[in-house]
A and B are shown apart, each in its own frame.
Chain A
């Protein structure tokens, strides 16, 4: 380190954009290079969310459980006797969907929320959406602890397919990261984006299999099958089927469409982000 200080390095350009086409790869390498920072930012976020709460991290489990019980009650009132596992499927739906919606909101607001830091230090800005999404994935994985009592109550077998539970959660988060990276620079320019995204995540709740399952949709004919093309069907169903002890059981074209969509979201999102973030932070 001392040697480098003696022989001063050569002049290099500052603030020059790399080609946005390489952004998907650059984002990964930047996050890897700054992994200590990402880890610290995630820890800060998770800690501050459960500050001064007597129940602390237990809220990660209590919150989705309470929500699910409300939806379950509502559904019984509307349609009458669903099958006994229905409450569990709603609970899973709520957990995975709220992971997606929290991640999407966090990524969208990541630049505006960290305005002060952006004004005072420079590090690759993709760190902000990535750590925002990371924090929500961590919180969601903690909520997944709610699965343990479910396994006990319903006397479910523990299988290797439960590996799919975290996979589904991460897939939802990854999808949100791509979409959020498209929105974040825009949100700096106009905060309307934030409100629009929040509305979309609320509306999306109903067209995604939170209160219904893929199986129910398949019984409903053409409209039901059309609903399966929603990219969020796959992550939620992956988690449900993982808990049930099977690898996701959906038509292959539906799975492929969802995987391709989430990769496309990331590719486009990282490119849009790297192209526009530099101009957008001037609005902060």
Chain B
């Protein structure tokens, strides 16, 4: 298993700064380049079957990198190549509507995540069972507690089986009891998916499950190696 499934070739991504007519004019005469460089010449190659972690301080470009891989932001320079379907797991329950029932929201969220109708009908029973919502499933979502919403979100999200799974800080939602269950579920998804890229601040978890950890700092790859080494480097950077 040495086939490359994700390949980032020297990608850069800039975010424009909010502008108004005055700043546009000032930038023009001062020849300012008011852009925030979120990723600078990042080159990463990920092989099939790898579990890769990404660490770095807040705002170092971790989430942006996952968004570039999933196609949310096209890179400004360089190219992104990937093989197979990609799924980004971030912010469970995107698009939930408080006025619809749990069941309708499950279908809605499933379709947002890219399932078609047949797949969703097929998976609905499994989803409802995992969510442990019982009779609440046909109540409007606004009557749910935060934990119940999280459970429903995870239940739907974990029903996908992509080739490449990107996880952005979704571990540890809900009450302690469910937290364990959700962690177990995500870990089983990690094992089930062939390739995983995970962003997390939980270094213990990273050391446990990742084969490799990439350290990002100000949008640049500072280190790419074993979890222990990268975490050590991280503390060196944060220290100074």
Contact = CB atoms under 8 A, between A and B. Distances in A.
Contacts of A55: none
B16 A48 contact: no
B158 to A, nearest CB: 15
Given A278-B74, A281-B72, A281-B73, A12 B83 contact: yes
B74 A40 contact: no
Contacts of B18: 283
A120 B63 CA distance: 10
B121 to A, nearest CB: 10
B120 interface: yes
B97 A11 contact: no
Contacts of B7: 11
Nearest to B75: A15
B88 interface: yes
B143 interface: no
Interface size range on B against A: 35 or more
A10 B83 contact: yes
B146 interface: no
A281 B13 CA distance: 13
Contacts of A44: 95, 97, 99-100, 108
Contact of B81 (A11, A34, A121, A281): A11
A121 B112 contact: yes
Contacts, number: 114
Contact of A5 (B75, B79, B90, B163): B163
Given A16-B74, A40-B112, 10 more contacts: A9-B84, A10-B83, A14-B69, A15-B68, A17-B74, A36-B117, A116-B94, A120-B90, A121-B70, A281-B72
25 contacts: A8-B5, A11-B4, A11-B83, A13-B79, A15-B71, A16-B79, A17-B74, A36-B111, A36-B115, A37-B111, A40-B107, A40-B111, A41-B95, A47-B100, A116-B94, A116-B95, A117-B94, A117-B112, A119-B67, A119-B91, A120-B94, A121-B112, A122-B72, A123-B114, A278-B73
Interface of B: 3-5, 7, 15-16, 18, 48, 67-75, 79-84, 86, 88, 90-91, 94-95, 97-100, 104, 107-108, 111-117, 120, 161, 163, 194
